[in-house]
Every structure is written in C-alpha cells, then in structure tokens.
Amino acid sequence: MQPKVFILRTAGTNCDYETKAAFEKAGASVDLIHINKWVGNKELIHQYNILAFAGGFSYGDDLGAGTVLANEIRQNLSEDLLKFIHEGKLIIGICNGFQIMTKLGLLPGFGLAENKLEQEATLATNNSGRYDDRWVYLKKASDLCVFTREWHNDPVYFPVAHAEGKFIPMDKKVLAKLKQNKQIIFRYSTPEGKPTSRFPFNPNGAVDNIAGICDSTGRILGMMPHPERFQDPTNHPRWRREKINEPTDGMMIFINAVNHVKENL
C-alpha cells in the first residue's frame, strides 16, 4: 500500500509544491488540501498517513507567523487532529509549518497524551531583526525522531528562509524537559558540527541553538530549515565543486517518513 500524504495549504502557503515533490520522490501519494476543504469534511484527514504543514507565509503572517492558521485549526479541527495523532500517524512542519505547530501546541506536545493542545514555545523574530535567506549547518542531537532514523551525514547543510525563526521555550522547565526527553532533534552548528549561537551559523538566535524538535513519541517533527529545498544534488550551492550523494540529506527526511509508514501499515 502506498503511503498517503496530506499537505495543508491556505492563503500565503508557498512551499507546498516542493514538499509534494519531495514526498512523491520518496514514494508517497500526495494531495494538496486547502484548509476550507478540511474544515468542510473533518474526517478527510483520516484517509492519510502523514500530515505536512508546509512553509510559506500563511495569512501573510499578519498577526505573527503561523498564528492565524494555528487558531483556525484549534477552533475547528483539534478533535480530528488529536485523533489522527493517537492513530499513530506522522506529522511534519517546516518553517511556517513549525511556527504553526508551536502556536497550536503540537510541539513540544507535552499535553498530547491527555488530548491537550497547549502552547509551550514559540518562534520569535530573528535577532538580526530581518528576514534571513541562507544555507546553514545542522547537528543532529537525538535519534528519537522517525524522520531522522536513517541518517548519512552529520552535520547536514540545509537552507533557511525566515524572519521569525528564533525558537524560545516558555520557561526553563520546558527547555529542561525537551533535553531530558531527547526531543531536540537539530541544533545550528559550525561546519565542523559544533553547536553555536554565533551568527550566521545560528541565523536567528534560537535558544540553545535549537533548529528542530519532535514530540515525545518521535512521530511529530517541526524544523525551521527547509529539507524540501534540497531534493537533488544540483540544489546544493556547491554542487559543482563537491560530490553530493543521492539520496540527498534533505530527501532523507521524507524517505524515512515514507518507509516508516510502509513498515507499519
């Protein structure tokens, strides 16, 4: 059976086609679903194995990155979203998707076992005070996450493109719990793999250099960098000078997810 992926889109979403291409290249069947279609048929999500919150600027980030879509989901779709999670399905949020997930309460997700969606972290304005578009190094920090189970290189090199990417936990207790549970999946690092807060290696000033986290089950991943923009060796800025192997590091995120579904259908 071919895994099925539900990519949520709305006004301002602009990375949905790249995300679709990555999942299809990994062997999945993919549909782009507008939020209005899901609200009109709340059971629709249960036809799928993976939910993806793509990058972009949902609703123009007018009330803060991801805030409007997070509130729309909380008010209209939280019951079926929680059911989807408890069915053992997978969720990934990239850039704006990660912002949505934190503001919705999917991540860190400490209350999910009790069917609670509570915001415990946010993605705030970059320390630079501006939009930043560059490639950065990421050091893998944990083996908990399904999306990173098979991993070839460490650190990896992924593009970022955001103005509100600074990960901030609600308090020290949240940060301590993330560390204790091994839910921190990626940290910004130097080319040698040493986590750092130094710009431009850490492009936003994220607390503890956090670039991506998962929930306690490892099935829900949120990350600021864009793996879907590194599907092919020619996407790499130094592809003519360096040997870039396939599958690329970006594709491994999607391959791991699709393989997990195939193994557990």
Q: Give catalytic residue positions.
A: 95, 226, 228
Looking at residue 22, its amino acid is A
What is the DSSP code string of 32-76? EEEHHHHHH-GGGGGG-SEEEE--B-GGGGTTSTTHHHHHHHHHH
CB 156 within 8 A of CB 138: yes
Separation between Cα atoms, residue 235 and residue 210, nearest integer Å = 24
Torsion, Cα 8 161 137 185, to 10 degrees, reads -30
CB 224 within 8 A of CB 162: yes
Q: How many CB atoms lie within 10 A of CB 238?
A: 9
Tokens representing residue 50 in the block: 């993976």
